[in-house]
Amino acid sequence: MSASGSQLRVDYKPSGEGYIHNVPRRRVRRRFWLLLGVAAVGGGAFQFFSVSAANIGHSYAAAPTPAQTATVTPLPAVPAPTPASAPIAAAAAAAPLPSGAQTLKLSVRRGDTLGRLFADNHLNRADLAAIMHLGGDTAQLRYIHSGETINVVHDANGHVLALSLRLDDAHRLEVRQAVSGYQAQVAEIPVEISAAYAHGVIENSLFDAAGRAGLADQETMQLIHLFGWDIDFAHDIRSGDSFSVLYQKIHREGRPVTDGPILAAEFTTGAKTFRIVRFTTPNGDSGYYTPDGRSVRKALLRAPVAYTRISSGFSMHRMNPVLHIIRPHYGVDYAAPMGTPIVAAGDGRVVFVGRKEGFGRCVIINNGGGYSTLYAHMSRFRKGEHIGSHVKQDEVIGYVGESGEATGPHLHYQIMVDGVPRNPRTVKLPSAAPVAVAYRPEFTRDLDVLLAQLSNAGETRVATTTASSNTAKVSIAH
């Protein structure tokens, strides 16, 4: 037997677990002995026993179980205690909080339980019992941790009107009093997006300058990827080169979560300046383009592997390190650790996969338009790869090895144009599709706005920081 939720009293152990006191049952027993004494004095013992038995049976039958009082809905509800001294008005579930409501921030310290925090702050413990009996998501309130903050909205008498706890960077537990009792849900914390600006002048390295400009590594890698089609960051970067970046910063409740995509960027190396902007079509497809609408992305990659160094370049007269004879080297060797993933340089169809003379394990892809690419000395192929397989740019096709005529782990990479080998580092690569004519008006509008923001941020929002003489000189703004 159990009593209704509004009649249960819950106390909490130091561990945070609760135990229930069955209040109605004790009240029935007290009523029984009181009536027995009155009946005995008045001489109506028989009548008393018959009536009391009926009343007791009625009391037990009328007391619903917690399962009966809980509403089976996506947001489970349990009635909250409503003392006569401070009645809570019956309102809609999403009704606004009373004007006299107060917000209390409970800072969790080591060893704290929610029961202790409620007691220390004179909050109604019966309200806590009702909230905990919701079950489901509210069970997480039993395991609060030091450093967390629980927000409680209460009235002047300490009765809880709402409660919330941040569960992680993206979610928050929300409990609110409704007409049927308390309701709980795990809500996604909305993100707040703002634009940020960074500018750097390279003295030692791009990563050094980017770090001082406030760019996270992921933003720096995106910058390299976007300009990597036109700039060889391993060989072309010089002291004095500079960059400016307009990008997104994403917050939740004032806390930084991550940096969003780059919106616009400018990179100056030597006498050349490159600019790109991000454009999203009305259909939701996003890409990066030059100011004249050409896609930044090329149809082929110059280096389809994350390499540590170029161990051998394209040459018509190269001494073969294995055969020790001079013969042409129709590709570029990218040295990389054994097992490093190799990706397809562009969309295409696999026309060869297997062992091929001195190339060892080799893959050849027909990329269309007269272009084809060759990848050699692999340690293994991607599982399931076969002749006729269709691949997408950046899709893994194999892994670095030293099969065939190789003196160490590396990728031998070739680009052929109409069957003729070309230097992957210098050949003119075909571009991806430009901005569609139908989207040109929207692109021009976004282009003007983004480039103006990039320019104005550099002129009016930049706060300069001083670096030591042997580090990057960087201007930053956030």
Compute CA distances 11 → 14, 20, 116, 130, 358, whole Å. Answer: 10, 7, 10, 12, 77
Kindly report, residue by residue over 410-457, the tens digit of the pLDDT.
999 999 999 999 999 888 888 888 999 999 999 999 999 999 999 887
pLDDT at site 328:
86
**Does position 14 have pLDDT exceeding 80, yes or no?**
no
95 pLDDT band, cuts 50/70/90, is low
Looking at residue 179, what is its pLDDT? 83
Contact 396, 365 (CB under 8 A): no
3-state secondary structure of 139: helix
pLDDT at 56: 33
Lowest-pLDDT range of 134-138, 359-363, 466-470: 466-470
Q: Are strands 473-477 and 149-154 parallel, antiparallel or unpaired?
A: unpaired
Neighbours of 475 (CB within 10 A): 19
Q: Poorest-confidence range of 12-21, 42-51, 197-206, 374-383?
A: 12-21
66, containing H or E segment:
helix 66-69
User: Residue 401 has what DSSP assignment?
Assistant: B
Tell me which amino acid residue 38 is: V
Say whether 345 sits in a helix, a strand or coil: coil
Residue-wise pLDDT tens digits, 238-288: 899 999 999 998 888 777 888 889 999 999 998 899 999 999 998 888 999
Does the pLDDT of residue 471 top 50, yes or no?
no
* 257 Cβ contact list (under 8 Å, min separation 6): 169, 170, 191, 250, 251
pLDDT value, residue 92? 32
Between 258 and 210, where is the model more confident?
210
169-178 mean pLDDT: 88
What domains, with CATH codes, occur in the chain?
1-66 (no CATH), 70-81+99-189 (3.10.450.350), 192-297+436-477 (3.10.450.350), 309-422 (2.70.70.10)
Per-residue pLDDT band at 33 (split at 50, 70, 90): very low
pLDDT band at 19 (very low <50, low <70, confident <90, very high): very low
pLDDT class for 318, splitting at 50, 70, 90? low
Mean pLDDT over the full length of the chain: 76
% residues pLDDT > 90 (the chain)? 41
Sequence-distant (6+) residues with CB within 8 A of 126 are 9, 10, 81
- Is the Cα torsion angle 291, 294, 299, 302 positive or negative in sign? negative
147-151, 211-215, 449-453, 455-459 — which is least confidently predicted? 455-459
